[in-house]
Amino acid sequence: MSTLGAPSLFTKKKILAFLTACAVFLAIDLWMFSALRDSYEKTVLQDKKELIVALARSAPAGGDAAAADAWLAEARKAYPAVRLLHVQGIPGADEVKVSSLDPELKSLWAAMQGEASFKLGVESASYLEVFVSPEPVRLGAQKSLLMFAPVPNKEGDTAVGIVVAAVDESALTSFFYLTYSLSVIAFLLFALGFGIATFSRDPLTGYAILVLFAIVLTFVAYPLFEALRLTFVQQGRFSLAVWKEILTNKQYLGALAGSVKLGVLTATLSTLLGFLFAFFVARTSMRGKKLVTALATLPVISPPFSLTLSIILLFGNNGLVTKRILGLDHFSIYGLGGLGLVQTISMFPIAFLTLAGVLEAIDSTLEDASLDLNASRWSTFARVTLPLAAPGILSSWLLVFTNSLADFANPLLLSGSFRVLSVESYIEVTGMNRLGNGAALSILLLLPTLTAFFVQRAWVAKKSFVVVTGKPSGRLSDLASRPTRILLLTGVVLTSVFIVSLYGTIVAGCFVKNWGIDYTFTMVNIVEALQRGKAAMLSTMTLAGIATPIAGFIAMIGAVLVVRKRFPGKRVLEALMMTPFAVPGTLIGISYILAFNQPPLLLVGTGAILVVCYVIRELPVGLEGGVATLRQIDPSIEEAASDLGADQATVFRTVILPLIRPAFISSMSYTFVRSMTAVSAIIFLISARWYHITIQIYNFSENIRFGLASVLATALIIIVLAVFGLMRVLVKKSEHLEKTVTVQ
């Protein structure tokens, strides 16, 4: 209890810590500032240099003064900001004719004969090199950099003249002042925040808030801002050109229409199928519910490409069903139909899980009451059950719709000539190198997602009348009549069989020599795939393994801050942490390349950017889980710990973490699995050194090496199942905990 003696919050230790932190931050700040300035100067100079060189190439090589003057006049018309001087012949070697429309420049030229930079400039030009004066010179009212560019002869092997250009330096200095003031502001903000945190009652919480803010600002807000900026700024000026092109070009609009069409199709089919399954599980007394539930949730956790792959194997151009069994020649699975099928199979589980929750929560006594009042089963279903489930049905439809829009992996393999936004933006970026268009297309993708989100908030939340009585509802009255039950059962069984056969196909694909042509058994694929995929597998597992605990801890700390602490800017922090949930992977990928491809944050090409991407993308789900668990824990448990003498760190370690262990473990395993199976964002970020297993599967499939792809997909499925199995075991061990958490 030695701390009792210090009522003052300004202790020597704290002041020292504060000053040290400020010094460290200042050093980093200055380094970042100088790096930024350097890289900017370099790019600006490079641009100018290229311009001048191009100009010099267009200058008349020989001819009279009139030709030179005509050229100078034309150049001034095109580039009024650049002051030019044309020199016919190389000084010292030829007879020199100087002409310029700029008397100041002309007199400068005369005055600087014999100076060191003049000699160097002329010499460089004679060797066909560009020279930039290291020091700016005063030219009338402005400070300018002088550039000497050679005018080549027709063959381009010797310089026959020089173009001297004076480039205004003020653009550079204004940028210098901008970055300078920004870094000063950054330092002041840091000092303020860190100071408040250090000298407050609860420094640890303060630091946690600062760190989380720094993380989300750097890795969520900044990249998205960069992406948005790119679509509005062209060559340093505000411009709507990108958006004009996006919103008028038929190809892009077609992709938008395609995405929406696919989304509506998938969402409708998935909700229907999901309702069928949910009704079977939650509202009937038929047997086999557990098996059906397990089968129906399987596609949620299956890796990308795996279902697409087996659809191609079964129904593709050389598919088992289409070619071998039915003998169809002109059938194509590629396009809207195939995509709708594969998305429905992989996304109806989302609808199923949502709707099963909704249907289970509806008190069956309401249905009993309706039956008791002599309503028929059908009218009870139509007038009681369905209206009660309506908000849930809409919200599941919206959930699937947004998922379908953001889906990248399935369309990538299966879209054929059918265009969707996510793939279109990928092609724009990697195929056409048009980052601006790519970013704009992904932002376009964000709009329906946000709309769906707000509809959900405004309407569904208001209309939700799910009745949770907490009373055991006892036996369910069976709403389904006998024929309905047979119909229901048939639908469920057929879908389940289809799902099982899809997974069977992938496994079978591993052992077949050449699918579609030669169905003989072989182990060759396995050996080759493991050899070629080993590096990607290892790098994926390493990076996912690094990201997992980081994501877990950040999510849990974030949850504690959100649920338990009061501080200014909490809403902003929470919103920023949740943002990646709504942002399509392609947009995250594109924005990361934009934001982290130059110093001081040069991350593109490293493993770090993949780790950051995993952590940020899975943060929302972990956060939600942590928040939900923490809300159920009586805050007086933590208060008791703190009251008994534990500081914030000890409370977190000894009380909070053990209590939210289930959420912590499931958040970590979720992060690991999702990172292993990521496609959309990381396809932009991988490098030769840090490859990704899913991209490897994609490459194998693209090269029609379906056997190899099947092996890797199967391996990935096994890993995913193993991780989830492990999670269940670990969470079960702490289940006794959950029950006693609320001791009210």
Chain residues that interact with other proteins, rule: CB under 8 A: 1, 3-4, 6-7, 9, 201-202, 634, 636-647, 650, 654-655, 658-659, 734, 736-737, 739-741, 743-744
- CA-nearest of 297, 410, 720, 403 to 544 is 720
Phi, psi of 11 (to 5 degrees): -90, 165
Please, which residue, 8 or 251, has the CB nearer to other proteins?
8
For 484, how many CA atoms within 13 A lie in the half-sphere containing its CB? 12
The distance of closest approach from Cβ of residue 574 to other proteins in the complex, given in angstroms and rounded to an integer, is: 15
Structure tokens at 189: 């903000």
Residues 6+ apart with CB under 8 A from 97: 65, 68, 87, 88, 89
Please, which residue, 41 or 647, has the CB nearer to other proteins?
647
Please, which residue, 4 or 688, has the CB nearer to other proteins?
4
Residue 401 near residue 264 (C-beta atoms within 8 A): yes
The distance of closest approach from Cβ of residue 733 to other proteins in the complex, given in angstroms and rounded to an integer, is: 11
Which residue bears the tokens 């079977």? 280
The distance of closest approach from Cβ of residue 197 to other proteins in the complex, given in angstroms and rounded to an integer, is: 14
Residue 727 DSSP SS3: helix
The distance of closest approach from Cβ of residue 304 to other proteins in the complex, given in angstroms and rounded to an integer, is: 38
The distance of closest approach from Cβ of residue 741 to other proteins in the complex, given in angstroms and rounded to an integer, is: 5
The distance of closest approach from Cβ of residue 573 to other proteins in the complex, given in angstroms and rounded to an integer, is: 17
CA distances from 143 to 122, 168, 560 (A): 21, 6, 55
The distance of closest approach from Cβ of residue 659 to other proteins in the complex, given in angstroms and rounded to an integer, is: 6
Residue 14 DSSP SS3: helix
Structure tokens at 413: 């393999």
What amino acid is encoded at 739 in this protein?
K
The distance of closest approach from Cβ of residue 731 to other proteins in the complex, given in angstroms and rounded to an integer, is: 14
The distance of closest approach from Cβ of residue 456 to other proteins in the complex, given in angstroms and rounded to an integer, is: 23
Please, which residue, 121 or 662, has the CB nearer to other proteins?
662
Please, which residue, 6 or 110, has the CB nearer to other proteins?
6
Residue 426 near residue 438 (C-beta atoms within 8 A): yes
Please, which residue, 563 or 637, has the CB nearer to other proteins?
637
- CA-nearest of 226, 286, 260 to 339 is 260
Please, which residue, 4 or 110, has the CB nearer to other proteins?
4
Structure tokens at 514: 């050449």
Please, which residue, 248 or 740, has the CB nearer to other proteins?
740
Please, which residue, 42 or 733, has the CB nearer to other proteins?
733
The distance of closest approach from Cβ of residue 657 to other proteins in the complex, given in angstroms and rounded to an integer, is: 10
The distance of closest approach from Cβ of residue 269 to other proteins in the complex, given in angstroms and rounded to an integer, is: 43
Residues 6+ apart with CB under 8 A from 601: 218, 595
Structure tokens at 662: 């289930």
The distance of closest approach from Cβ of residue 308 to other proteins in the complex, given in angstroms and rounded to an integer, is: 44
Please, which residue, 47 or 639, has the CB nearer to other proteins?
639
The distance of closest approach from Cβ of residue 203 to other proteins in the complex, given in angstroms and rounded to an integer, is: 10
| Cα 416 from Cα 332, distance rounded (Å) | 9
Please, which residue, 4 or 373, has the CB nearer to other proteins?
4
Residue 303 near residue 679 (C-beta atoms within 8 A): no
| Cα 296 from Cα 156, distance rounded (Å) | 70
Residue 97 DSSP SS3: strand
The distance of closest approach from Cβ of residue 643 to other proteins in the complex, given in angstroms and rounded to an integer, is: 5
| Cα 67 from Cα 59, distance rounded (Å) | 9
| Cα 602 from Cα 595, distance rounded (Å) | 9
- CA-nearest of 224, 143, 330 to 579 is 224
Please, which residue, 585 or 662, has the CB nearer to other proteins?
662
What amino acid is encoded at 592 in this protein?
Y
- Helices marked H in 102-169: 103-111, 116-126
Please, which residue, 169 or 202, has the CB nearer to other proteins?
202
Please, which residue, 199 or 232, has the CB nearer to other proteins?
199
Size of the chain in residues: 744
What amino acid is encoded at 326 in this protein?
L
Residue 224 near residue 583 (C-beta atoms within 8 A): yes
* DSSP states of 623-677: HHHHHHHHHTS-HHHHHHHHHTT--HHHHIIIIIHHHTHHHHHHHHHHHHHHHHT
- Per the DSSP assignment, residues forming a β-bridge with 53 are none
Residue 660 near residue 630 (C-beta atoms within 8 A): yes
Please, which residue, 514 or 734, has the CB nearer to other proteins?
734
| Cα 152 from Cα 369, distance rounded (Å) | 95
The distance of closest approach from Cβ of residue 331 to other proteins in the complex, given in angstroms and rounded to an integer, is: 59
Please, which residue, 77 or 566, has the CB nearer to other proteins?
566
- Rounded to 5°, the CA angle 45-49-52 comes to 140
The dihedral built from the CA positions of residue 278, 283, 287 and 289, taken in this order, carries a sign that is: positive
- Per the DSSP assignment, residues forming a β-bridge with 238 are 233
